[in-house]
Amino acid sequence: MVIIFLARYDDAMKATQCIFILGLLVSACGDGAKPDINDNSSGNPATAPVDYLGAVNKGRKKGISQAGLLQVNSALSTFQASESRPAKSLQELIAARYLRALPELPLGMKWQYNPQTGKASIVPAQ
């Protein structure tokens, strides 16, 4: 009697395991969401080194731009605090020796200055 019970229990466990594995396979093979691929990646493992270098270069350009922007806006703030007025142009900062020169920007970018707000920004060159 005990042997028959154990044999049925073993068959039930095997059936449960088979159903569980089948469920996993079906759920894994379904149309899931596409992986989140940003504009730095093609999603192809063969092009991963190129994608990586592109992302590094993009980050480098952004870092250079942000550092230059921080430097110029800091000089603009200092100028406004000292002179009690915003600078008329970015060149006035150089003439008044608040900056030696405008920081260089990555290729394809240029400085833009708004004398009303006294803030500089970086925009794509056209």
Domain ranges of the chain: 56-126
Phi and psi of 60, rounded to 5°? -65, -45
Model confidence at 47, pLDDT cuts 50, 70, 90, reads confident
**What are residue 109's DSSP bridge partners?**
124
Contact 96, 79 (CB under 8 A): yes
Residues belonging to the chain: 126
15, β-bridge pairs: none
Q: Would the pTM count as exceeding 0.75?
A: no
- How far the first Cα of the chain sits from its last, in Å, is 89
> What proportion of the chain, given as a percentage, has pLDDT over 90?
50
